[in-house]
A = this chain, B = another copy of it.
């Protein structure tokens, strides 16, 4: 707190990201990063872009990348907005589409940055509790609200929402923007992108961080009808003209081009996920069905916070949220088979002691 900060900043409660440890090497299963490296074409494209042209500003409208993404999804370039990670895209979306008068709706158990954005935009959100099994109460999301934001699959639960349910929510709010945050959609879920042509109120947010293994270059994007994309551009261009650097642009274009590689890695991760779920269930974990690159699990006897610390002591980082309803759960990113073996060994050790 400070006399120099305005009253707005005094009230902010920032997001705390998962730990990026510097003290030693961990099996890092805490921030949903992809365990496999990005495509070699991506690193080659970046090396190629590391040249004297770095003295020049990047293209502020990211034309080449927008065209590439549009082509990939069967959309037009003016239906694509690029941001500095999907977090920036979400921040701009909150600034553009939601208002104090009509509270935006999101679930009680969801990506915890949403309530930080709401705070940043001085909005009082309408918090809708998930069902006991962490499925989304579609009916409650269809009641009047000022728009909604729903991750699909949900984080940190991993539960997927059928496209038909999304359609139901979109139909209920023709005048409000419904954001579907598809950060984890490529690990087995079904995308709502085909609905864009029929729903001017649908905005889909994506990221290259997970599926394309590029958390390190910060590229996210939004897909929607032109009118929504224009709104995002208006806010972005009132904030920062050049949000994506030349290197990230080059890498992102190469990543979209080599989607086949990302798909192959995602399939490996999905196989590992199902094996890990099976192993955890044998160890008496209750595991929520997941279509993401992470799982959400609770042991039937041993406290999650205790396991979290014991895993950390054994060099395995997972994510623990000290929050109502989920304080006995661990969110575990799917790593390589070997990393998951290390997790299982550490858990065996912890549970037998």
| Residues of chain A whose beta carbon lies under 8 Å from any beta carbon of chain B | 2-9, 12-17, 20, 22, 28, 31, 33-38, 42-43, 46-47, 50-60, 63, 84-85, 87-88, 91, 95-99, 116-117, 119-120, 175-177, 200-201, 209, 213-218, 227-228, 230-231, 233-248, 251
Q: Which of B2, B56, B63, B176 is close to A216, meaning CB atoms less than 8 Å apart? A: B56
Looking at A22, A37, A38, A241, which has the most chain B CB atoms within 10 Å of its CB?
A241
Cβ contact within 8 Å between A58 and B15: no
**Which residues of B sit under 8 angstroms from A240, Cβ to Cβ?**
84-85, 87-88, 91
Q: At the interface, is chain A mostly helix, strand, loop or mixed?
A: loop
Cβ contact within 8 Å between B14 and A238: yes
**Which residues of B sit under 8 angstroms from A91, Cβ to Cβ?**
239-240
**Which residues of B sit under 8 angstroms from A60, Cβ to Cβ?**
17, 20
Cβ contact within 8 Å between B177 and A4: yes
Cβ contact within 8 Å between B246 and A216: yes
Q: Which 3 A-B pairs have the closest CB atoms?
A: A37-B52, A14-B237, A54-B216
Q: A35-B55, A95-B9 are in contact. Are A3 and B215 (CB under 8 A)?
A: no
A34→B47 CA distance, assembly (Å): 21
Cβ contact within 8 Å between B15 and A59: no
28 contacts between A and B (CB under 8 A): A4-B175, A4-B200, A5-B231, A8-B95, A8-B99, A9-B96, A12-B234, A13-B238, A14-B233, A17-B60, A22-B59, A33-B55, A36-B55, A37-B55, A38-B55, A46-B47, A47-B47, A54-B213, A56-B215, A56-B216, A57-B209, A84-B243, A87-B241, A91-B240, A117-B238, A120-B235, A120-B239, A247-B247
Q: A3-B175, A200-B4 are in contact. Are A239 and B88 (CB under 8 A)?
A: yes
Q: Which of B13, B50, B235 is close to A50, meaning CB atoms less than 8 Å apart? A: B50
Q: A116-B238, A217-B246 are in contact. Are A98 and B54 (CB under 8 A)?
A: no
Cβ contact within 8 Å between B56 and A42: no
Given contacts A17-B57, A43-B54, 13 further A-B contacts (CB under 8 A): A4-B176, A4-B200, A4-B231, A6-B96, A9-B95, A14-B236, A17-B242, A37-B54, A38-B52, A46-B54, A58-B218, A87-B242, A116-B238
**Which residues of B sit under 8 angstroms from A245, Cβ to Cβ?**
216-218, 245, 247-248
**Which residues of B sit under 8 angstroms from A37, Cβ to Cβ?**
51-52, 54-55
Looking at A4, A52, A95, A243, which has the most chain B CB atoms within 10 Å of its CB?
A4
Chain copies in the assembled complex? 2
A199→B99 CA distance, assembly (Å): 38
Cβ contact within 8 Å between B2 and A231: yes
**Which residues of B sit under 8 angstroms from A55, Cβ to Cβ?**
33-38, 213-216
Q: A87-B240, A234-B14 are in contact. Are A216 and B53 (CB under 8 A)?
A: yes
In the complex, the chain B residue whose C-beta lies closest to that of A226 is B2
Looking at the assembled complex, report how far the CB atom of A227 sits from the nearest CB atom of chain B, in whole angstroms.
5
**Which residues of B sit under 8 angstroms from A35, Cβ to Cβ?**
55
Cβ contact within 8 Å between B88 and A231: no
**Which residues of B sit under 8 angstroms from A97, Cβ to Cβ?**
4-6
Looking at A47, A175, A240, which has the most chain B CB atoms within 10 Å of its CB?
A240
Looking at the assembled complex, report how far the CB atom of A117 sits from the nearest CB atom of chain B, in whole angstroms.
8
**Which residues of B sit under 8 angstroms from A57, Cβ to Cβ?**
17, 20, 31, 33, 209, 215-216
